[in-house]
Chain A
Amino acid sequence: MLTPLLKLLRYSDIFVVAKIAIRMHKEPKALIILKRTWGDYCLLGFRAERIATEAQPGQFIMVRSGDNLHPLLRRPISIHSVQDDTVEIFFQQAGIGTRLLGQKEKDDTLDIIGPLGKGFHLENSLQEKSVALIGGGRGIAPLYFLAHKLRNLGALPRIYYGGRTINDIPLRKKFEEEDFEILLTTDDGSFGSKGQVTDLLHVSLQDFSPIRIFACGPEAMMQKVSRIAREKNIAAEFSLEAIMGCGFGACWGCVRKLKNDTQEEWSKICEEGPVFPGEKIIWQEEEQ
């Protein structure tokens, strides 16, 4: 399975050696000042001034779920929002690490490193232009921060937010209360349009023409968004998820095959991403 790929690799160009990252801070005792939960979903807000000042939408933090040595590794969690000196994360309690994190309470502290990675590309040319943000389940997390930045930039973001059931789209009110244009879907029809968020995107693009699509969610969802964006010739960016060891380029554990120029190579999600333009990503069905 690997051999054909290896032939494509141009060995001398495989590696982008870590640049000295100066904008990366360790906050061993970030004070939690806000906690909200919706079933498995959890939002934590904590004071981390340097990270709040420097973070960009799409970047992430590495957070320890506790002081013990199991689970051992930090968890990569995308930045949901920043306000003044406060950073918010929004995550789903899915495994042992995120479950422990979900047990943290107000006045507890978090041990975090951030901001990490490269976020979404925002440029002035998006001003007064329509853009589409597609979030599936917990993938909505970075899109809230992004929606605010886009609005401040003068762009016109429309948010597509989908989940399996009404319980998987807990942030809908938050977007609505802040007057974002938001379209909701659930697979079972328990709220919003019945079906997948990609179905709604596909239909709505008949009379809606965003100049950029930003997506974060399950792999299958992003793959469909990528196909739709290609058909409609709309530039799209995707925030990818990966199991990470360190989060800052040292362990080489989080790689994924990406197209760089005409080459395919194992690239570090943590350092070169987690946000990538659609044309760089090789989706799983294309890998065969």
Chain B
Amino acid sequence: MTDLSVDLGFLRLKNPVLTASGTFGYGVEFTPFVDLNELGGFVVKGLYFHPRPGNPPPRLVETASGLINAIGLQGIGVKRFSEEILPRLKDYDTALIVNVCGDEDEEYAAVTEYLDKQDGIAAYELNISCPNTKRDGRCPALSPDTTHAVVSLVKKTSKRPVITKLSPNVTDITEIALAAQEGGSDGLALANTFLAMAIDVETRTPKLANVFGGLSGPAIKPLTLRMVYQVAQSVQIPIVGIGGIVSGNDALEYMIAGASAIEVGTANFVDPESTKNIIRDLEAYCRKNGIQRIEQIIGTLKV
């Protein structure tokens, strides 16, 4: 019998397969396809303190093996999430991770403080790639100082473990990762989407109303995989790998590179049953290779 569970230190997951925020709604949308109990956990759509209207359409454009989105974090805010969604999720035997957003550092702390009073949440994922209104739209994830500031502020009050989700749009992601670790982050999630754009040549207009969006999907997998590997050499806290995972093989690459768990994102749209297929593939891989505990493969890249 293969043991697929993984230990993040602050949280034990029944298997390494989570979902990426923004691609799994609030979880409830996927119940016709996936038994949420089978997942290692799931990360719900990013929450600001107040509801957000999001960006104007078009919000999506497909590119070669990828998807650029500019949804603009449309969402229902912490109050409605706590009242309407949480009660429907609390009976699932899986780790519910809430992705936390903020226009300012204080908003991240306000969101986690509000959610600290609610039951049924295993951890927070800090989305520090949101544009920060106090810093001319620059998100905290773009520099070590601002990353350290927001992580340490949230960690001061948060009653739950914090996973910091980094932006890949930086020169040296290991610097940012170390800053998050120093700020007290319990884990890291690598990475968010790549800033991208697409143009309609007939009209010479951007294909997204927001001009820029974030690229996800198989197109980015080699890029984030490299980042996970680099960061794994530098930090001591566990890493959750994200970026273009559509198969068990993709998930294994991230784990061998040093990720303790992974998040499935865009693949949830391509095949809403992706997560359960990936879990099945991981089990088959372990069985075939005589691996008793999947944790044994984490960070085992032979270079």
When distances are taken between beta carbons in the complex, the residues of chain A under 8 Å from B16 are: none
B94 an interface residue at 8 Å Cβ cutoff?
no
A248 an interface residue at 8 Å Cβ cutoff?
yes
Q: CB < 8 Å: which of A6, A24, A69 contacts B53?
A: A6
> How many whole Å from B213's CB to the nearest CB in chain A?
10
Interface readout for A238-274 with B: 1 if CB under 8 Å, 0 if not?
A: 0000111110111111111100000001100000000
A80 an interface residue at 8 Å Cβ cutoff?
no
A265, B76: Cα distance in complex, Å:
13
Interface readout for B55-86 with A: 1 if CB under 8 Å, 0 if not?
A: 01111111011110101001111001000110
Q: CB < 8 Å: which of A20, A248, A255, A257 contacts B74?
A: A255
Interface readout for B214-233 with A: 1 if CB under 8 Å, 0 if not?
A: 00011000000000000000
A149 an interface residue at 8 Å Cβ cutoff?
no
B266 an interface residue at 8 Å Cβ cutoff?
yes
User: Within B1-39, which residues are at the interface with A (CB < 8 Å)?
Assistant: 22-26, 28-33
When distances are taken between beta carbons in the complex, the residues of chain A under 8 Å from B56 are: 1-2, 5, 257, 266
When distances are taken between beta carbons in the complex, the residues of chain A under 8 Å from B69 are: 245, 251, 253
B273 an interface residue at 8 Å Cβ cutoff?
yes
> Considering only CB atoms, which chain A residue lies closest to B273 in the complex?
A26
Which one of A10-18, A153-161, A193-201 contacts B? A10-18
> How many whole Å from A61's CB to the nearest CB in chain B?
13
A245 in contact with B67 (CB, 8 Å): yes
A73 in contact with B61 (CB, 8 Å): no
Q: Is the interface of A mostly helix, strand, loop or mixed?
A: loop
B60 in contact with A253 (CB, 8 Å): yes
A26 in contact with B33 (CB, 8 Å): yes
A74 an interface residue at 8 Å Cβ cutoff?
yes
A9 an interface residue at 8 Å Cβ cutoff?
yes
Interface readout for A63-78 with B: 1 if CB under 8 Å, 0 if not?
A: 0100001111110000
B270 in contact with A74 (CB, 8 Å): yes
When distances are taken between beta carbons in the complex, the residues of chain A under 8 Å from B74 are: 14-15, 252, 255, 266
B268 an interface residue at 8 Å Cβ cutoff?
yes
> How many whole Å from B83's CB to the nearest CB in chain A?
11
A113 an interface residue at 8 Å Cβ cutoff?
yes
A205 an interface residue at 8 Å Cβ cutoff?
no
> Considering only CB atoms, which chain A residue lies closest to B22 in the complex?
A251
A246 in contact with B269 (CB, 8 Å): yes
A21, B25: Cα distance in complex, Å:
13
A249 in contact with B67 (CB, 8 Å): no
Q: Give chain A's interface residues, CB within 8 Å of chain B.
A: 1-2, 5-6, 9, 11-12, 14-15, 17-18, 20-22, 24-26, 64, 69-74, 111, 113, 242-246, 248-257, 265-266
- List the 3 closest A-B pairs by CB distance, nearest first: A250-B25, A253-B60, A250-B29
